[in-house]
């Protein structure tokens, strides 16, 4: 079941943590396209936060095509479909963090290895 951990010590906002962790669980095949996610009120109750905060995470997931409304007013995980926007967005964000990593002393090998390591943990998990 979809388990979210909120850490108020992190710099990330609460709705961003919810967003990233739902994405993570889809990426890890913990939840799958078509699956329902908890209602914003239910999730908020479990996490002991306001349902608007959960709502904001859900709205952002919806804007990015990661979840969608089913006919019975429940959010479900969308099917994957690689859009140009998704590719462009990835490239842009990737460029920024690779730049920073290299400026901090990591080399191409470090970066490739780290990326492959992250991918292997998913593929081989």
Residues that bind a second copy (CB under 8 A): 20, 23-24, 26-27, 64-66, 80-83, 86-87, 90-91, 93-106, 108, 110-112, 114-119, 122-123
Contact partner, 4, from DNA, a second copy, none, Cβ < 5-8 Å per class: none
> Per-residue contact track with DNA, 49 to 88, x per CB under 7 A?
xxxxx-xx-xx--x------x-xxxxx-------------
Structure tokens at 47: 């996490």
Contact partner, 10, from a second copy, DNA, none, Cβ < 5-8 Å per class: none
Question: Is 19 among the residues that bind DNA (CB under 7 A)?
Answer: no
Q: Which of 51, 84, 78, 48 is nearest to 63 (CA)?
A: 78
Structure tokens at 59: 């709205």
The nearest distance, CB 102 to DNA, in angstroms, is 24
Compute the 3-state secondary structure of the chain and give helix, strand, coil in percent, each to the nearest 5: 55, 5, 40
Q: Which of 49, 13, 5, 57 is nearest to 66 (CA)?
A: 57
């Amino acid at each position: 079941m979809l388990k979210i951990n909120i850490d108020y010590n992190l710099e990330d906002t609460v709705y961003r943590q919810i967003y990233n962790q739902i994405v993570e669980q889809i990426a890890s095949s913990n939840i799958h396209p078509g699956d329902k996610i908890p209602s914003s009120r239910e999730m908020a109750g479990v996490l002991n936060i306001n349902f608007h905060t959960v709502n904001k995470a859900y709205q952002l997931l919806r804007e990015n095509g990661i979840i969608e409304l089913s006919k019975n007013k429940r959010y479900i995980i969308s099917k994957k479909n690689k859009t140009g926007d998704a590719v462009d967005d990835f490239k842009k964000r990737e460029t920024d963090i690779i730049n920073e990593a290299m400026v901090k002393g990591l080399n191409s090998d470090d970066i490739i290895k780290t990326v492959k390591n992250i991918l292997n943990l998913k593929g081989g998990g």
